[in-house]
């Protein structure tokens, strides 16, 4: 794990992915499943605890893409509910705030103290990603963040969004470092000609 003191002090800006870099995406998805289970309990008189457990287990064993189909097969859920399930991923008002990884909170605080720029450049559906950002406990750091949604420009690994940040914030490639943990992030940094650091929680 790198620390702020390990990073080239000449860097002027830091570009972070959001999911599983600044906070655990699982913390968002599991709360969405809890809310959807409560919705189905109200609509179909099913046991929300049982539904939540099934969705959680499916997510952990097979990934998010399998969750609704497994629920549908096990409980004969109407296909009409897929719309509600997908919409909830975008609009959910979570019971609990999303917490930053401790290492990332410390890193962000040090960047702010050093008066350097912080960008979030995230792949994914922009409205959903914004919903996540709004529900993170930023500890006052939100005022120092500039957020871009790569899908509004061109999703990573294409470097277009990084080029956009460089141009619109008067930065050179040598000025920034990208922080992520996917091939898309790494390839994007390589294509843009900027330094890359991998963060694994």
DSSP string, 175-193: GEEEEESSHHHHHHHHHHT
Same domain for 121 and 31 = no
Same domain for 75 and 111 = no
Place of tokens 């990934």: 63
Res 1 pLDDT > 80:
no
Q: Above pLDDT 70, what percent of the chain? A: 100
Same domain for 51 and 16 = no
Same domain for 157 and 105 = yes
CATH code, domain carrying 174: 3.40.50.1000
Same domain for 86 and 14 = no
State the pLDDT at residue 2.
Answer: 79
State the pLDDT at residue 16.
Answer: 98
Is the distance from CB of 125 to CB of 155 less than 8 angstroms?
no
CA distance to 36, 62, 101, 132, 178, per residue, from 27 (Å): 15, 17, 11, 10, 23
Q: Which residues in the chain belong to E strands, given as ranges?
A: 13-16, 98-99, 117-122, 136-137, 145-149, 176-180, 195-198
Q: Provide mean pLDDT across the span 163-174.
A: 98
Residue 187: which domain range? Answer: 4-23+100-198
Residue after which a domain boundary falls, among 45, 62, 91:
91
Write down how long the chain is: 201
Residue after which a domain boundary falls, among 91, 123, 147:
91
pLDDT tens-digit series, residues 64-121: 999 999 999 999 999 999 999 999 999 999 999 999 999 999 999 999 999 999 999 9
Same domain for 118 and 172 = yes
State the pLDDT at residue 90.
Answer: 97
* Separation of alpha carbons 127 and 123, rounded Å: 11
Domain count, the chain: 2
Residue after which a domain boundary falls, among 60, 91, 122:
91
Residue 13 has phi, psi (to 5 degrees) of -150, 150
Q: Provide mean pLDDT across the span 174-188.
A: 97
Same domain for 113 and 38 = no
* Separation of alpha carbons 49 and 59, rounded Å: 15
């Amino acid at each position: 794990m790198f620390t702020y003191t390990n990073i080239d002090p000449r860097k002027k800006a830091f570009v972070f992915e959001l999911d599983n870099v600044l906070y655990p995406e699982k913390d968002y998805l599991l709360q969405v499943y809890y809310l959807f289970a409560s919705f189905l309990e109200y609509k179909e008189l099913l046991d929300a605890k049982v539904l939540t457990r099934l969705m959680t287990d499916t997510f952990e064993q097979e990934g998010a893409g399998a969750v609704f189909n497994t629920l549908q097969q096990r409980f004969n859920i109407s296909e009409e509910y897929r719309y509600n399930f997908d919409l909830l991923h975008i609009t959910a008002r979570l019971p609990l705030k999303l917490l930053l990884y401790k290492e990332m909170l410390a890193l962000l605080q040090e960047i702010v103290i050093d008066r350097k720029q912080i960008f979030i450049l995230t792949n994914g559906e922009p409205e959903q990603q914004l919903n996540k950002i709004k529900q993170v406990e930023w500890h006052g750091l939100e005022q120092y963040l500039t957020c871009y949604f790569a899908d509004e420009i061109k999703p990573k690994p294409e470097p277009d969004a990084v080029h956009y940040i460089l141009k619109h914030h008067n930065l050179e490639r040598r000025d920034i470092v990208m922080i992520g943990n996917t091939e898309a992030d790494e390839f994007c940094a390589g294509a843009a000609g900027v330094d890359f650091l991998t963060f694994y929680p």
